[in-house]
Structure 1
């Protein structure tokens, strides 16, 4: 992965990495450099302000922001940058991520956050959506993204497979 990272992956805490690493792994598979940071809206608000206000100047084109619980990180980041912000709700213990989802998705008009699914699927899809955003002006990336999707389709079996080998039973003879 050569070049300056164009995608930032930010999360509210170290524990969010268990979910957000799936975004990083997906970007790695597509050959996209990314920078991963812990930027808590509640515990490190000054770090959040510095990151969000400086993200564009730092060369980022898309921000993937994951948070759980109150999950203010994606919305607060979006309030301070004009870059696309993709929000990933991290599953919480109390409400299985429903609290995170509602916190991220309910943004006021004028401060958009593209909200993805809760957990691993949301992190993977955030990476794919970030790649698609960049692929609009990057033909080589568009080709890699198409190849990734084709490989995903090819990996799906056409017919169900038995978990156990089929056992042939002798047929009873009919008189």
Structure 2
């Protein structure tokens, strides 16, 4: 496995600043893994030229993965994916209209040749973890951190099971 910092940044792009509350933990998690992250608001519909320009230049600007979050029509992840060879992870944002189902379907139903990896509605933390896993294919340090993260997840489950077993003794 290679160790390289080239294309090791993650872009977190949101269609609206109202999406920040969903993406905040995603950004924190990326920073916990010491992944450089850049965040911006960019609309597929209101600033399409900016979206296209960002996606076209993302690779040369050192990005390795793009996380794109949007609600309702949720075209942002697909538009970015159309203009970049980089992996794009779509985060459907829960909206008032259909509780995010509209966003999920818009992101996941991409045409052949323009893939967007899609996480659950408001699943921004999993988007961060997927981005780390993608970057870790070329970064031993990130791979080690991901293994440790997963060990900690397993330990938390075992701790909860142990606590449950103690409660069951009281019944």
Sort the TM-score into its range (normalised by shorter chain): 0.7 to 0.9
Separation in 2 of the partners of 1:56 and 1:39? Answer: 17
Is residue 56 from structure 1 mapped to residue 59 from structure 2 by the alignment? yes
Query: 4+ residue runs of structure 1 moved beyond 3 angstroms?
Result: 2-5, 159-162
Task: Give the corresponding residue for 1:81.
Answer: 84
| TM-score normalized by the length of structure 1 | 0.86
**In the alignment, does 2:91 pair up with 1:91?**
no
Task: Give distance in 1, aligned partners of 2:162 and 2:104.
Answer: 35
Q: Is the 8 A contact 1:48 1:77 kept in 2?
A: yes
2:142 maps to 141
Give the whole-Å Cα distance in 2 for the aligned partners of 1:74 and 1:23. 16
What secondary structure sits across from 1:130 in the alignment? helix
> Larger % of helix: which?
2
Change (3 A) 1:86 1:71: same
* 1:158, distance to aligned residue in structure 2 (A): 1.2
- Cα distance between partner residues in 2 of 1:26 and 1:152: 14
Q: Which has the larger radius of gyration?
A: 1
**Alignment partner of 1:106 is 2:109:** yes
Name the SS of the counterpart of 2:50 in structure 1. helix
CA contact (8 A) 1:3 1:33 kept: no
Q: Check conservation: 2:7, 2:64, Cα contact below 8 A.
A: no
The normalised TM-score by structure 2 is 0.88
Provide the C-alpha distance between the structure 2 equivalents of 1:76 and 1:42, rounded to a whole number of angstroms: 10
Q: Are 2:39 and 1:24 aligned?
A: no
CA RMSD, Structure 1 to Structure 2 (Å): 2.2
Query: How do 1:116-127 residues align onto structure 2 when only pairs under 5 Å count?
Result: 116-119=119-122, 122-127=123-128
Task: Name 1:69's counterpart in structure 2.
Answer: 72
CA–CA separation in structure 2 for the residues paired with 1:14 and 1:133: 26
* Unaligned stretches of 5+ residues in structure 2: none
- The answer to whether the 8 A contact 2:87-2:116 is kept is yes
